Amino acid sequence: MKKRDLYISFILLSFVTYAACNRISEGSKRAAKKIKLTTTASIETQPMDQGVEKDAADDPAIWFNSKNPEQSRIIGTDKKGGLAVYNFQGKKLFYYADGNMNNVDIRYNFVLGKDTIDLVSASNRTNQSISIYKINNDGSLNDVSTRTIVSAMTDEVYGFCMYKSPVSGKFYAFVNSKSGEVEQWELLENNGLIDAKLVRQFQLDTQVEGMVADDENQHLFIGEEENGIWKINAEPNEETQIVQLAKSTETDNENISYDIEGLAIYYLPDGKGYLLASSQGNYSYAVYNRQAPHEYLGSFRITDGTVDGAEETDGIEIYSQPVNDQFQHGLVVVQDGYNYDGETKKPQNFKLIKWENIAKLFSPALAIN
């Protein structure tokens, strides 16, 4: 190669290296100084249809199709317009422009008349309500609510999760607001559709969003964005005693940087497993034991690999069982607040990560199913 060609190659390489380094945000650079454990995503969903600068994608749910696993789906909220349904290759299959959906969750085997269905529900900020759908065999959705189930909270509906009681077998929806209000609704059959009645209300001090219910252990975990993670009994008739998880705040954990956002659980037998929380302020994910006293095990980040990494994550979700040949020990889906294709910024989307890639980061490694 001639000297001139060598010089040109050097300039091009330098430019590409600079561009790649320049794409990494200051937030990611700060996070990398403290949080050294990293993994990568395997697949990403198609970007939201909203513009590049729109904060649209928020929270994912994972539906495993037991009758046809290859038709399992990811359902993601678009808080600027509806719900999107993707296959496990990231292709968008369906979109429902039913309102500004914020958080979403799934429960299986709800008895509706002579049918047994899987439910997906979401907090709908357009009309201050809970939206409820039946999941069909191909992953498409049908609204099965009897009416618009309007929240009684004074502030805007925000976070959301579902709970199936191991005591009564009843299904519940939890919804919260930016003012720290939390409501618990019982889901009921009504002439072949689903209605809901408010059964409990309580209050946290400041803004909350991320929630996840541990059905087996009867716990509800709530992320108070600037005050850590809290646990409460999920049964509606139990005492409303709220306990804070140790090392879930900036005060007692240097690896937490507000806001606390998405929460999700990796289930293991006998009540064991792990609670994951997205620490939005430093683009990382904190891991806790699922069982009390919920020991903090460490934090990790999702960096560039086959697809780009995930930054400023809102919602997260985990499916704890094998789903296909690629995700043999479980699947983690996270929202990506800054989505890139190479050096080109794209609208937000969701990233898919193998559970075992997270588990092996920790010593001793986290368990896998």
What confidence tens digit (pLDDT) does each residue in 326-346 have?
Answer: 999 999 999 999 999 999 999
Dist. CA 156–CA 124, nearest whole Å: 9
What is the chain's alpha carbon radius of gyration, rounded to the nearest angstrom? 21
**Residue 348's CB: how many other CB atoms inside 10 A?**
25
Could you tell me what percent of the chain has a pLDDT over 70? 92
- How many other CB atoms are there within 10 angstroms of residue 178's CB atom? 16
Distance of alpha carbon 163 from alpha carbon 212, whole angstroms: 8
* Confidence band for 24, pLDDT divided at 50, 70 and 90: low
Q: What are the pLDDT digits (tens) for 277-318? A: 999 999 999 999 999 999 999 999 999 999 999 999 999 999
pLDDT of residue 300: 97
Long-range contacts (CB closer than 8 Å, 24 or more residues apart) made by 9-14: none
3-class DSSP assignment, residue 321: coil
Specify the pLDDT at position 15: 36
User: Is 14's pLDDT higher than 50?
Assistant: no
27-59 pLDDT, tens digit per residue, is 666 677 789 999 999 999 999 999 899 999 999
Percent of the chain with pLDDT over 90: 88
Per-residue b/e over 139-169, b at no fewer than 16 CB within 10 Å?
A: bebeebbeeebebebeeebbbbbbbbbeeee
Residue-wise pLDDT for 103-160, tens only, equals: 999 999 999 999 999 999 999 999 999 999 999 999 999 999 999 999 999 999 999 9
What's the pLDDT at 10? 38
The domains located in the chain, with CATH, are 24-359 (2.120.10.30)
pLDDT of amino acid 95: 98
Note the Cα 287 to chain centre separation in Å: 14
